[in-house]
Amino acid sequence: MKKISGKTSDLLREIKAEAAEMPVSERRNFLLRGLQLTAGSAFAMSAAKIMASDSSLPPNVPAWTKSLGRGVVSEPYGKPSKYEDDVIRRTVTWLTATPQSSISMTPIHEMKGIITPSGLVFERYHAGLPDVNPDEHRLMIHGMVKNPIILTMDDLMRFPSESVIHFLECPANGGMEWHGAQMEALQFTHGMLSCCEWTGVKLSTILDEVGLLPEAKWVLAEGADGATMTRSIPLEKALDDTLVVFAQNGERLRPEQGYPVRLFNPGWEGNTSIKWLRRLEIGDKPWYQREETSKYTDLMPDGKARKFSFIQETNSVITSPCPERPMLRKGVYELEGIAWSGRGTIKRVDVSFDGGVSWRQAKLKGLVLPKAITRFSLEINWQGEPLLLQSRSIDESGYVQPTLTQLRSVRGSNSIYHKNSIHTWKLDSDGTVSNVQLG
Protein backbone atom coordinates (compact mmCIF):
# COMPACT_ATOMS: atom_id res chain seq x y z
CA MET A 1 0.00 0.00 0.00
CA LYS A 2 2.76 2.40 1.00
CA LYS A 3 4.78 1.58 -2.08
CA ILE A 4 1.83 2.23 -4.37
CA SER A 5 1.15 5.48 -2.54
CA GLY A 6 4.72 6.63 -3.09
CA LYS A 7 4.64 5.87 -6.79
CA THR A 8 1.27 7.45 -7.41
CA SER A 9 2.07 10.63 -5.57
CA ASP A 10 5.30 10.91 -7.55
CA LEU A 11 3.35 10.50 -10.74
CA LEU A 12 0.91 13.16 -9.70
CA ARG A 13 3.72 15.48 -8.81
CA GLU A 14 5.27 15.02 -12.24
CA ILE A 15 1.94 15.62 -13.90
CA LYS A 16 1.47 18.78 -11.90
CA ALA A 17 4.98 20.03 -12.67
CA GLU A 18 4.62 19.44 -16.39
CA ALA A 19 1.19 21.01 -16.42
CA ALA A 20 2.53 24.16 -14.81
CA GLU A 21 4.64 24.83 -17.87
CA MET A 22 1.73 24.56 -20.32
CA PRO A 23 -0.72 27.18 -21.54
CA VAL A 24 -3.93 27.13 -19.50
CA SER A 25 -6.06 25.80 -22.36
CA GLU A 26 -3.90 22.70 -22.68
CA ARG A 27 -3.61 22.19 -18.96
CA ARG A 28 -7.07 20.79 -18.34
CA ASN A 29 -6.78 18.16 -21.06
CA PHE A 30 -3.40 17.13 -19.77
CA LEU A 31 -4.64 16.82 -16.22
CA LEU A 32 -7.60 14.80 -17.43
CA ARG A 33 -5.22 12.41 -19.11
CA GLY A 34 -3.30 12.21 -15.85
CA LEU A 35 -6.54 11.47 -14.10
CA GLN A 36 -7.31 8.61 -16.47
CA LEU A 37 -3.81 7.30 -15.96
CA THR A 38 -4.32 6.98 -12.23
CA ALA A 39 -8.06 6.34 -12.26
CA GLY A 40 -9.14 3.25 -10.41
CA SER A 41 -6.63 3.90 -7.66
CA ALA A 42 -7.60 5.74 -4.52
CA PHE A 43 -5.35 8.56 -5.63
CA ALA A 44 -7.45 9.61 -8.58
CA MET A 45 -9.06 11.96 -6.09
CA SER A 46 -5.81 13.71 -5.33
CA ALA A 47 -5.61 14.49 -9.05
CA ALA A 48 -9.17 15.80 -8.86
CA LYS A 49 -8.01 18.03 -6.03
CA ILE A 50 -5.26 19.50 -8.19
CA MET A 51 -7.66 20.12 -11.05
CA ALA A 52 -10.35 21.61 -8.82
CA SER A 53 -8.00 24.13 -7.33
CA ASP A 54 -8.12 26.25 -10.49
CA SER A 55 -11.87 26.66 -10.71
CA SER A 56 -13.20 26.42 -7.15
CA LEU A 57 -11.89 29.62 -5.70
CA PRO A 58 -13.73 32.93 -5.60
CA PRO A 59 -15.13 34.42 -7.69
CA ASN A 60 -15.75 30.97 -9.24
CA VAL A 61 -18.22 28.59 -7.65
CA PRO A 62 -16.90 25.05 -7.00
CA ALA A 63 -18.39 21.99 -8.61
CA TRP A 64 -19.69 20.62 -5.28
CA THR A 65 -21.82 23.72 -4.82
CA LYS A 66 -23.37 23.36 -8.25
CA SER A 67 -24.37 19.71 -8.00
CA LEU A 68 -26.29 17.28 -5.84
CA GLY A 69 -24.30 15.31 -3.30
CA ARG A 70 -24.64 11.67 -2.29
CA GLY A 71 -27.57 10.41 -0.23
CA VAL A 72 -27.57 9.07 3.30
CA VAL A 73 -26.05 5.63 3.89
CA SER A 74 -23.97 5.90 0.73
CA GLU A 75 -21.29 5.02 3.27
CA PRO A 76 -23.01 2.98 6.04
CA TYR A 77 -19.89 3.18 8.18
CA GLY A 78 -18.34 6.58 7.54
CA LYS A 79 -14.71 7.05 6.64
CA PRO A 80 -12.43 10.09 6.76
CA SER A 81 -12.43 12.39 3.72
CA LYS A 82 -10.46 11.02 0.81
CA TYR A 83 -8.29 14.12 1.06
CA GLU A 84 -7.02 12.88 4.42
CA ASP A 85 -5.45 9.72 3.05
CA ASP A 86 -2.08 10.74 4.46
CA VAL A 87 -3.34 10.48 8.03
CA ILE A 88 -2.43 6.87 8.63
CA ARG A 89 -0.46 4.59 10.95
CA ARG A 90 3.09 3.97 9.79
CA THR A 91 5.82 1.55 10.74
CA VAL A 92 9.58 1.33 10.47
CA THR A 93 10.11 -1.90 8.60
CA TRP A 94 13.74 -2.47 9.56
CA LEU A 95 12.87 -2.47 13.26
CA THR A 96 11.60 -6.02 13.37
CA ALA A 97 12.02 -9.31 11.57
CA THR A 98 8.38 -9.56 10.57
CA PRO A 99 5.24 -7.37 10.52
CA GLN A 100 3.44 -9.97 12.67
CA SER A 101 5.68 -9.16 15.60
CA SER A 102 6.00 -5.44 15.21
CA ILE A 103 4.59 -2.01 15.94
CA SER A 104 3.00 0.84 14.03
CA MET A 105 2.81 4.46 15.13
CA THR A 106 -0.05 6.93 15.43
CA PRO A 107 0.26 10.10 13.29
CA ILE A 108 0.24 12.32 16.37
CA HIS A 109 1.32 15.31 14.27
CA GLU A 110 -2.17 15.19 12.69
CA MET A 111 -4.18 14.68 15.89
CA LYS A 112 -6.44 17.33 17.39
CA GLY A 113 -7.80 17.51 20.92
CA ILE A 114 -6.98 14.53 23.11
CA ILE A 115 -8.87 11.59 21.56
CA THR A 116 -7.15 9.32 19.05
CA PRO A 117 -9.60 7.97 16.46
CA SER A 118 -9.94 4.19 16.87
CA GLY A 119 -8.52 3.44 13.43
CA LEU A 120 -5.34 5.39 14.14
CA VAL A 121 -4.45 3.92 17.54
CA PHE A 122 -0.94 2.46 17.30
CA GLU A 123 -0.73 -1.32 16.86
CA ARG A 124 1.53 -3.78 18.62
CA TYR A 125 1.32 -7.45 17.83
CA HIS A 126 3.45 -10.32 19.07
CA ALA A 127 1.97 -12.96 16.76
CA GLY A 128 -0.13 -10.98 14.33
CA LEU A 129 -3.69 -9.71 14.47
CA PRO A 130 -6.08 -12.57 15.34
CA ASP A 131 -9.61 -12.75 13.97
CA VAL A 132 -11.56 -13.55 17.13
CA ASN A 133 -15.21 -14.57 16.84
CA PRO A 134 -16.95 -12.96 19.84
CA ASP A 135 -19.60 -15.70 20.03
CA GLU A 136 -16.88 -18.30 20.45
CA HIS A 137 -14.68 -16.22 22.69
CA ARG A 138 -14.61 -16.88 26.44
CA LEU A 139 -13.02 -15.18 29.43
CA MET A 140 -11.94 -17.62 32.14
CA ILE A 141 -11.22 -16.44 35.70
CA HIS A 142 -9.64 -19.02 37.97
CA GLY A 143 -6.76 -19.77 40.34
CA MET A 144 -6.87 -18.57 43.94
CA VAL A 145 -10.57 -17.85 43.87
CA LYS A 146 -13.57 -19.42 45.56
CA ASN A 147 -15.52 -19.59 42.40
CA PRO A 148 -13.77 -20.06 39.02
CA ILE A 149 -16.04 -18.92 36.21
CA ILE A 150 -16.23 -18.65 32.45
CA LEU A 151 -17.87 -15.59 30.92
CA THR A 152 -19.28 -15.11 27.45
CA MET A 153 -19.14 -11.57 26.00
CA ASP A 154 -22.84 -11.23 26.88
CA ASP A 155 -22.11 -12.23 30.46
CA LEU A 156 -19.26 -9.75 30.72
CA MET A 157 -21.25 -6.87 29.32
CA ARG A 158 -24.05 -7.42 31.86
CA PHE A 159 -21.78 -6.24 34.68
CA PRO A 160 -21.96 -2.54 35.61
CA SER A 161 -19.53 -0.69 33.35
CA GLU A 162 -17.72 2.62 33.33
CA SER A 163 -16.05 4.82 30.73
CA VAL A 164 -12.75 6.59 31.24
CA ILE A 165 -10.40 8.62 29.05
CA HIS A 166 -6.80 7.44 29.32
CA PHE A 167 -3.68 7.32 27.21
CA LEU A 168 -2.18 4.05 26.00
CA GLU A 169 1.56 4.05 25.42
CA CYS A 170 4.11 1.43 24.51
CA PRO A 171 7.02 1.63 26.97
CA ALA A 172 9.35 1.49 23.95
CA ASN A 173 7.99 4.82 22.70
CA GLY A 174 11.09 6.87 21.91
CA GLY A 175 13.25 3.83 22.60
CA MET A 176 15.00 4.18 19.24
CA GLU A 177 16.49 7.46 20.48
CA TRP A 178 18.44 6.26 23.55
CA HIS A 179 21.76 6.14 21.71
CA GLY A 180 21.16 9.27 19.67
CA ALA A 181 18.60 11.01 17.51
CA GLN A 182 17.52 8.48 14.89
CA MET A 183 14.03 9.26 13.66
CA GLU A 184 13.38 12.23 11.42
CA ALA A 185 9.68 12.63 12.18
CA LEU A 186 7.38 12.99 15.21
CA GLN A 187 5.27 10.00 14.21
CA PHE A 188 8.31 7.80 14.74
CA THR A 189 9.82 9.53 17.79
CA HIS A 190 6.60 9.61 19.85
CA GLY A 191 3.84 7.79 17.92
CA MET A 192 3.57 4.67 20.09
CA LEU A 193 0.99 6.71 21.96
CA SER A 194 -2.78 7.09 21.73
CA CYS A 195 -5.61 8.27 23.95
CA CYS A 196 -9.18 6.97 23.88
CA GLU A 197 -12.32 6.70 25.89
CA TRP A 198 -12.38 3.12 27.13
CA THR A 199 -15.53 1.38 28.37
CA GLY A 200 -15.49 -1.77 30.42
CA VAL A 201 -16.03 -3.52 33.73
CA LYS A 202 -13.75 -2.80 36.65
CA LEU A 203 -11.57 -5.83 37.26
CA SER A 204 -12.28 -5.40 40.99
CA THR A 205 -15.98 -6.06 40.26
CA ILE A 206 -15.14 -9.35 38.57
CA LEU A 207 -12.66 -10.35 41.29
CA ASP A 208 -15.35 -9.66 43.91
CA GLU A 209 -17.68 -11.88 41.93
CA VAL A 210 -15.30 -14.87 41.93
CA GLY A 211 -14.19 -14.28 45.53
CA LEU A 212 -10.44 -13.94 46.15
CA LEU A 213 -8.69 -16.32 48.52
CA PRO A 214 -6.63 -14.60 51.26
CA GLU A 215 -3.29 -15.67 49.68
CA ALA A 216 -4.07 -13.93 46.36
CA LYS A 217 -1.41 -11.37 45.41
CA TRP A 218 -1.02 -11.36 41.61
CA VAL A 219 -3.15 -11.71 38.49
CA LEU A 220 -1.90 -13.30 35.29
CA ALA A 221 -3.61 -11.87 32.21
CA GLU A 222 -3.45 -13.90 29.01
CA GLY A 223 -4.47 -13.13 25.42
CA ALA A 224 -6.08 -15.41 22.86
CA ASP A 225 -3.64 -14.50 20.06
CA GLY A 226 -0.96 -16.82 18.72
CA ALA A 227 1.48 -15.53 21.33
CA THR A 228 -1.07 -16.08 24.13
CA MET A 229 0.59 -12.93 25.46
CA THR A 230 0.86 -12.88 29.23
CA ARG A 231 1.71 -10.39 31.96
CA SER A 232 1.64 -10.59 35.75
CA ILE A 233 -0.30 -7.73 37.34
CA PRO A 234 -0.05 -6.99 41.09
CA LEU A 235 -3.40 -7.39 42.82
CA GLU A 236 -3.12 -3.85 44.21
CA LYS A 237 -3.40 -2.43 40.68
CA ALA A 238 -6.08 -4.96 39.67
CA LEU A 239 -8.26 -3.81 42.58
CA ASP A 240 -7.53 -0.14 41.95
CA ASP A 241 -8.31 1.01 38.41
CA THR A 242 -7.74 -1.90 36.00
CA LEU A 243 -10.60 -2.31 33.55
CA VAL A 244 -11.79 -5.23 31.45
CA VAL A 245 -12.58 -3.24 28.32
CA PHE A 246 -14.94 -4.07 25.48
CA ALA A 247 -15.46 -0.65 23.86
CA GLN A 248 -13.41 2.34 22.78
CA ASN A 249 -14.55 5.78 21.64
CA GLY A 250 -18.19 4.74 21.82
CA GLU A 251 -18.03 1.57 19.74
CA ARG A 252 -16.82 -1.96 20.30
CA LEU A 253 -13.05 -2.38 20.38
CA ARG A 254 -11.27 -2.51 17.05
CA PRO A 255 -9.65 -5.87 16.24
CA GLU A 256 -6.26 -4.15 16.44
CA GLN A 257 -7.09 -3.12 19.99
CA GLY A 258 -8.13 -6.52 21.25
CA TYR A 259 -11.67 -7.17 20.01
CA PRO A 260 -13.79 -8.42 21.66
CA VAL A 261 -12.16 -7.77 25.06
CA ARG A 262 -8.89 -6.48 26.46
CA LEU A 263 -7.41 -5.56 29.79
CA PHE A 264 -6.61 -1.90 30.40
CA ASN A 265 -4.18 -0.71 33.06
CA PRO A 266 -4.40 3.12 33.17
CA GLY A 267 -1.02 4.86 33.22
CA TRP A 268 0.95 1.64 32.90
CA GLU A 269 3.05 0.38 30.05
CA GLY A 270 0.78 -0.67 27.19
CA ASN A 271 2.12 -4.20 27.12
CA THR A 272 0.34 -4.99 30.41
CA SER A 273 -3.03 -4.15 28.85
CA ILE A 274 -3.41 -7.61 27.33
CA LYS A 275 -5.51 -7.70 24.15
CA TRP A 276 -7.94 -10.44 23.06
CA LEU A 277 -8.12 -11.31 26.77
CA ARG A 278 -9.06 -14.95 27.36
CA ARG A 279 -7.88 -15.72 30.87
CA LEU A 280 -7.23 -14.21 34.28
CA GLU A 281 -5.48 -16.46 36.77
CA ILE A 282 -5.10 -15.38 40.37
CA GLY A 283 -1.98 -16.50 42.25
CA ASP A 284 0.34 -15.67 45.10
CA LYS A 285 3.48 -14.89 43.05
CA PRO A 286 4.36 -13.36 39.67
CA TRP A 287 4.82 -15.80 36.79
CA TYR A 288 7.96 -14.28 35.22
CA GLN A 289 6.69 -14.72 31.69
CA ARG A 290 8.76 -13.86 28.64
CA GLU A 291 7.31 -10.34 28.35
CA GLU A 292 8.34 -9.49 31.92
CA THR A 293 11.86 -10.99 31.87
CA SER A 294 13.41 -11.18 28.41
CA LYS A 295 11.42 -8.14 27.30
CA TYR A 296 9.94 -5.14 29.13
CA THR A 297 12.74 -5.11 31.70
CA ASP A 298 15.10 -2.14 31.77
CA LEU A 299 18.83 -2.89 31.57
CA MET A 300 20.94 -0.48 33.62
CA PRO A 301 24.63 0.42 33.08
CA ASP A 302 25.80 -2.00 35.79
CA GLY A 303 24.32 -4.96 33.88
CA LYS A 304 21.39 -5.38 36.29
CA ALA A 305 17.85 -4.79 35.11
CA ARG A 306 14.70 -3.27 36.55
CA LYS A 307 11.70 -5.57 36.51
CA PHE A 308 7.98 -4.77 36.74
CA SER A 309 8.65 -1.15 35.72
CA PHE A 310 4.98 -0.54 35.06
CA ILE A 311 4.45 3.21 35.28
CA GLN A 312 4.75 5.46 32.24
CA GLU A 313 6.34 8.55 33.77
CA THR A 314 5.40 11.99 32.54
CA ASN A 315 6.43 12.91 29.03
CA SER A 316 5.65 15.70 26.57
CA VAL A 317 6.45 16.80 23.04
CA ILE A 318 5.76 19.78 20.81
CA THR A 319 3.50 18.62 17.96
CA SER A 320 3.38 21.86 15.96
CA PRO A 321 5.82 22.69 14.70
CA CYS A 322 7.49 19.32 14.16
CA PRO A 323 9.36 17.77 11.20
CA GLU A 324 6.06 16.89 9.52
CA ARG A 325 4.62 20.34 10.25
CA PRO A 326 7.33 22.87 9.48
CA MET A 327 6.82 26.63 9.95
CA LEU A 328 5.38 27.76 6.64
CA ARG A 329 5.48 31.51 7.20
CA LYS A 330 6.53 34.19 9.61
CA GLY A 331 4.15 35.84 12.02
CA VAL A 332 1.92 34.87 14.91
CA TYR A 333 1.78 31.13 15.47
CA GLU A 334 0.13 28.88 18.02
CA LEU A 335 2.76 26.43 19.19
CA GLU A 336 1.06 23.27 20.43
CA GLY A 337 2.02 20.04 22.08
CA ILE A 338 0.85 17.18 24.24
CA ALA A 339 1.81 16.01 27.71
CA TRP A 340 0.80 12.95 29.69
CA SER A 341 1.66 11.08 32.89
CA GLY A 342 0.95 7.62 34.26
CA ARG A 343 1.03 9.11 37.76
CA GLY A 344 -2.04 11.27 37.24
CA THR A 345 -2.90 14.76 36.04
CA ILE A 346 -0.58 17.15 34.20
CA LYS A 347 -0.11 20.22 36.38
CA ARG A 348 2.16 22.38 34.25
CA VAL A 349 4.07 22.41 30.98
CA ASP A 350 6.96 24.77 30.24
CA VAL A 351 8.37 25.57 26.82
CA SER A 352 11.92 26.63 25.95
CA PHE A 353 13.03 28.31 22.72
CA ASP A 354 16.75 28.24 23.47
CA GLY A 355 17.45 24.61 24.23
CA GLY A 356 16.60 24.80 27.91
CA VAL A 357 18.45 27.97 28.96
CA SER A 358 15.18 29.69 29.85
CA TRP A 359 11.60 28.47 30.09
CA ARG A 360 8.09 29.91 29.77
CA GLN A 361 4.93 28.37 31.15
CA ALA A 362 2.50 27.19 28.48
CA LYS A 363 -1.30 27.17 28.72
CA LEU A 364 -3.11 23.87 29.26
CA LYS A 365 -6.09 23.75 26.95
CA GLY A 366 -9.21 21.64 26.74
CA LEU A 367 -9.78 18.69 29.04
CA VAL A 368 -7.11 18.08 31.68
CA LEU A 369 -7.71 14.53 32.89
CA PRO A 370 -5.62 12.09 34.94
CA LYS A 371 -3.54 9.64 32.89
CA ALA A 372 -4.76 11.23 29.67
CA ILE A 373 -3.16 13.21 26.88
CA THR A 374 -3.26 16.88 27.82
CA ARG A 375 -2.83 19.59 25.22
CA PHE A 376 -0.74 22.69 25.82
CA SER A 377 -0.16 25.78 23.71
CA LEU A 378 1.77 29.02 23.57
CA GLU A 379 1.33 31.86 21.11
CA ILE A 380 4.57 33.05 19.56
CA ASN A 381 5.53 35.65 16.97
CA TRP A 382 8.14 33.98 14.81
CA GLN A 383 10.27 36.18 12.60
CA GLY A 384 12.52 33.51 11.14
CA GLU A 385 14.94 33.15 14.00
CA PRO A 386 16.40 29.66 14.46
CA LEU A 387 15.17 28.06 17.69
CA LEU A 388 15.81 25.00 19.82
CA LEU A 389 12.30 24.06 20.93
CA GLN A 390 11.64 21.98 24.02
CA SER A 391 8.72 21.18 26.32
CA ARG A 392 8.85 20.01 29.93
CA SER A 393 5.88 18.56 31.81
CA ILE A 394 5.20 18.36 35.53
CA ASP A 395 2.54 16.01 36.92
CA GLU A 396 0.44 16.02 40.07
CA SER A 397 3.07 13.99 41.96
CA GLY A 398 5.50 16.88 41.44
CA TYR A 399 7.72 14.78 39.16
CA VAL A 400 9.38 16.91 36.48
CA GLN A 401 10.15 15.49 33.04
CA PRO A 402 13.95 15.03 33.00
CA THR A 403 16.54 15.97 30.40
CA LEU A 404 18.10 13.23 28.31
CA THR A 405 21.43 13.91 30.02
CA GLN A 406 19.82 13.35 33.43
CA LEU A 407 18.18 10.09 32.30
CA ARG A 408 21.35 8.77 30.70
CA SER A 409 23.42 9.61 33.78
CA VAL A 410 21.32 7.13 35.78
CA ARG A 411 20.20 4.61 33.16
CA GLY A 412 22.88 4.63 30.47
CA SER A 413 21.63 4.04 26.93
CA ASN A 414 20.66 0.36 26.86
CA SER A 415 17.40 0.21 28.78
CA ILE A 416 15.25 0.46 25.60
CA TYR A 417 12.08 1.25 27.54
CA HIS A 418 10.72 4.26 29.43
CA LYS A 419 12.59 7.04 27.67
CA ASN A 420 10.53 10.05 28.78
CA SER A 421 13.16 12.76 28.44
CA ILE A 422 12.67 16.33 27.20
CA HIS A 423 12.63 16.32 23.41
CA THR A 424 14.33 18.92 21.22
CA TRP A 425 13.25 20.16 17.80
CA LYS A 426 15.68 22.34 15.87
CA LEU A 427 13.81 25.03 13.95
CA ASP A 428 15.88 26.54 11.15
CA SER A 429 15.31 30.01 9.75
CA ASP A 430 13.72 28.53 6.62
CA GLY A 431 11.07 26.88 8.76
CA THR A 432 12.44 23.35 8.59
CA VAL A 433 12.13 21.34 11.82
CA SER A 434 14.46 18.47 12.65
CA ASN A 435 15.05 16.04 15.48
CA VAL A 436 18.19 16.78 17.48
CA GLN A 437 19.66 15.88 20.85
CA LEU A 438 21.44 18.38 23.06
CA GLY A 439 24.54 17.67 25.11
Partner 1 sequence: MFNWDNKYLNKVMLLIGILVTSQVVWSQDTGYYGYGKPATQEEIAGWDIDVRPDGKGLPDGSGSVSRGEELYDAKCASCHGAFGEGEGRWPKLAGGFGTLDKAKPDKTVGSYWPYASTLWDYIHRAMPFTQPQSLTIDETYSLTAYVLYLNGIVEEDFELTHGNFTEIEMPNKDGFYEDNRPDVKNPACMENCKDPKTITITSAIKGITPLDHVAEEEKSNQKNSSAPKTPDSKNKKEVTEEEQMRIGRKVYGNSCSICHGQGVAGAPIFGDKVAWESRTAQGFEVLKKHALEGFSGESGVMPAKGGNPSLSEQEISAAVFYMIESTK
Site for partner 1 in 193-212 (CB under 8 A): 208-211
Nearer to partner 1, 141 or 317 (CB): 141
Site for partner 1 in 152-181 (CB under 8 A): 152, 155-156, 158-159, 180-181
Listed in sequence order, the residues at least 6 apart from 356 whose beta carbon sits closer than 8 Å to its beta carbon are 388, 390, 403, 422, 438
The backbone torsions φ and ψ at residue 194, rounded to the nearest 5 degrees and listed phi first, read -145, 170
- DSSP notation for 60-84: S--GGGSS----TTSSSS----GGG
Asked, as a colleague might, if the bond just before 58 is cis with ω within 30 of 0, I would say no
Question: Does the footprint of partner 1 cover residue 141 (CB under 8 A)?
Answer: yes
Of residues 418, 420, 427, the one with CA closest to residue 352? 427
Question: Does the footprint of partner 1 cover residue 438 (CB under 8 A)?
Answer: yes
CA distance 94 to 79: 30
CA distance 345 to 355: 26
SS3 annotation, 178-241 = CCCCCCCCHHHHHCCEEEEEEEEEEHHHHHHHHCECCCCCEEEEEECCCCCCEEEEEHHHHHHC
Smallest distance, Å, CB 290 to partner 1?
A: 4
Looking at 27, 28, 49, 90, which residue binds partner 1 (CB under 8 A)?
Answer: 90
Q: Is 157 helix (H, G, I), strand (E, B) or coil?
A: helix
In the stretch 417-436, what mask flags binding to partner 1 with x, by CB under 8 A?
-x-------x--xxxx-xxx
Looking at 146, 214, 332, 381, which residue binds partner 1 (CB under 8 A)?
Answer: 146
Looking at 44, 151, 203, 346, which residue binds partner 1 (CB under 8 A)?
Answer: 151
Question: Does the footprint of partner 1 cover residue 345 (CB under 8 A)?
Answer: no
Smallest distance, Å, CB 405 to partner 1?
A: 10
Question: Does the footprint of partner 1 cover residue 333 (CB under 8 A)?
Answer: no
Nearer to partner 1, 249 or 352 (CB): 352
CA distance 293 to 305: 9
Looking at 36, 96, 366, 367, which residue binds partner 1 (CB under 8 A)?
Answer: 96
Nearer to partner 1, 305 or 367 (CB): 305
Question: Does the footprint of partner 1 cover residue 332 (CB under 8 A)?
Answer: no
Site for partner 1 in 5-44 (CB under 8 A): 5-7, 9, 13
Site for partner 1 in 282-321 (CB under 8 A): 283, 285, 287-290, 293-294, 297, 299, 301-311, 313
Looking at 161, 204, 230, 345, which residue binds partner 1 (CB under 8 A)?
Answer: 230
